[in-house]
Amino acid sequence: MADLLRIAPVADELGTVFAAAGHQLFLVGGSVRDALLGRLEDDLDFTTDARPEQVLRLVKGWAESIWQTGIEFGTVGLAKAGFRVEITTFRSDLYDGETRNPEVTFGDTLEGDLLRRDFAVNAMAVSVPGHTFTDPFHGLTQLAERVLDTPGTPEQSFRDDPLRMLRAARFVSQLGFHPAPRVVAAMTAMAGEIDRITPERVGAELVKLIMGEHPREGLRLLTDTGLADRILPELPALRLERDEHLQHKDVYEHTLTVLDQAIAQEADGPDLTLRLAALMHDIGKPATRRFEPGAGVSFHHHEVVGAKLARKRLRALRMPKALIDDVAMLTFLHLRFHGYGTGAWTDSAVRRYVTDAGELLPRLHKLVRADCTTRNPGRRAALQRSYDSLEERIAQIAAAEDLARVRPDLDGNAIMELLGVPPGPIVGKAWAYLKELRLERGPLDRETAEAALMQWARDEGLIG
């Protein structure tokens, strides 16, 4: 009620404009649901019996700005008093059963419009300015019980728009709801219908799921219904594996636990890069599993294979290149810490760890710590102490050497001057050699760096 009162001045004023012209206006869908949950934001959805061209005439002069990007679907957007508003004409769309794009058909009744919506909790409406509550499909009861069910049959709903199956999993993640049994049954029977949806839309919905408060449960629903086999097959493939320590969890359960533990370390809100890395860090294990005689199971180089698979899957989902690069790198690096052992790494190894991680180092710290899921308290404490030790050494070396900007002790100009060469491949090779030397030995004084460069040039046959 507090949320509804907060938006009442704008909503009621807009409703009065429509009423004066003889039209109905209702706050609808996710806006009503979120208001009842006490989480309404500044994006408001309305539905009306007015046609789009009539809506444009009514809001002209009242709205601070207007956009028409969705007008072919009956939607007019506007901004007013800090609120972003979308007004959509009653719809009673027809679907061809082959795509998710309907033949847009305007309806004449509120109930008809609500019937076509994805879930009953999104099929409630409040009239403005009258504040009459309409709930023909018992959405309020389902909201109180945290249940997701469809206004009509789930089979018809998902046949009309298969993306609604992913939306069900997303609402499980975002809102902590659980799907009605008939919804789960329909998702399972119709999982193949998701192939009608473009990769871009699938990827966008999956991101919303992963960024929710309960992504573990949303992902579990995708796996249990077979939807993950179609859109993220690397996840259900982990169910048949065992982790390298032969613990009680298989790799699938281990992965979901790592995701939970990574989320627990987020300090500044949801981190998509970290969450995706946690989800994908072990996807290389099925392809690298080997049964070793007398030594259990091994997954050698699964981090290398996993990084390639992560790139392939995220590209297929049309994720941004920078995100793909970061997730793949975290997947590739997540196992390196386990070579640290009892702190026997040289300063050179620590420098390489930091340099290879670059700006991803804070996320790598979180991922590695989250990757410890053993129930053995002694082993868990030992792993955490070992990583504490590594972080302390990183801090010590960073304080002395500025690890954030590890570069050769000679720049390109100095290399060209000393070797007497123009810009080109030789300068690049020399620069790479000096950087490796810097990582191996730490900062060098000018004389030592120059001597090392000249020796390298002699060894390469560049000078006599």
Count how many residues are written for the chain. Answer: 464
Q: By mean pLDDT, which of 382-396, 399-413, 439-453 is the weakest? A: 399-413
Class of domain 146-232: mainly alpha
Give φ, ψ of 342 to 5 degrees: -95, 25
- Spacing of C-alpha 378 from chain mean position: 33
Burial 48-86 (b: 16+ CB within 10 A, else e): bbbebebbbebbeeebeebeeeebeebbbbbebeebebb
Domain boundaries, the chain: 2-143, 146-232, 267-404, 407-459
Q: How confident is the model at residue 397 (pLDDT cuts 50, 70, 90)?
A: confident
Residue 442 in this model has a pLDDT that exceeds 80: no
> Residue 354 and residue 443: Cα distance in Å, rounded?
15
Q: What is the pLDDT of residues 84-124, one digit of tens each?
A: 999 999 987 655 556 556 667 888 899 999 999 999 999 99
pLDDT at 416: 87
Q: Are strands 25-28 and 43-48 parallel, antiparallel or unpaired?
A: antiparallel
> Residue 273 and residue 312: Cα distance in Å, rounded?
16
pLDDT at 101: 63
Q: Which DSSP state fits 335?
A: T
Q: Name which of 276, 254, 253 is nearest 263 in CA terms.
A: 276
Q: What is the pLDDT of residues 328-366, one digit of tens each?
A: 999 999 988 877 666 567 877 888 888 888 899 999 999
Give yes or no for a contact between 297 and 266, defined as CB atoms under 8 angstroms apart.
Answer: no
> Residue 334 and residue 310: Cα distance in Å, rounded?
13
Q: How confident is the model at residue 155 (pLDDT cuts 50, 70, 90)?
A: very high
Which residues, including other chains, have CB under 8 Å from residue 253's CB and lie 6 or more apart? none
Domain 2-143 and domain 146-232 have a common topology: no
Give yes or no for a contact between 203 and 319, defined as CB atoms under 8 angstroms apart.
Answer: yes
Q: By mean pLDDT, which of 3-7, 131-135, 196-200 is the weakest? A: 3-7
> Residue 378 and residue 399: Cα distance in Å, rounded?
32
Q: Which residues pair with 73 in a beta bridge?
A: none
Give yes or no for a contact between 307 and 329, defined as CB atoms under 8 angstroms apart.
Answer: yes
Give yes or no for a contact between 106 and 90, defined as CB atoms under 8 angstroms apart.
Answer: yes
Q: How confident is the model at residue 248 (pLDDT cuts 50, 70, 90)?
A: very low
Residues 348, 352, 354, 358, CA torsion sign: positive
Q: How confident is the model at residue 368 (pLDDT cuts 50, 70, 90)?
A: very high
Q: What is the pLDDT of residues 170-226, one digit of tens each?
A: 999 999 999 999 999 999 999 999 999 999 999 999 999 999 999 999 999 999 999
Does the reported pTM lie above 0.85? Answer: no
- Cite the beta strand spans of 289-382 per DSSP E: 290-292, 296-298
Q: Which DSSP state fits 85?
A: E
Amino acid type, 260: D
Q: What is the pLDDT of residues 262-317, one digit of tens each?
A: 999 998 899 999 999 999 999 999 888 887 776 677 788 899 999 999 999 999 99
Question: Considering the domain 2-143 in this protein, what is its CATH number?
Answer: 3.30.460.10
Q: Which residue has the higher pLDDT, 50 or 442?
A: 50
Q: Which residue has the higher pLDDT, 440 or 88?
A: 88
pLDDT at 243: 47
234 is written with which tokens?
A: 């690397």
> Residue 215 and residue 152: Cα distance in Å, rounded?
27
pLDDT at 110: 95
Q: Which residue has the tokens 């970290």?
A: 274
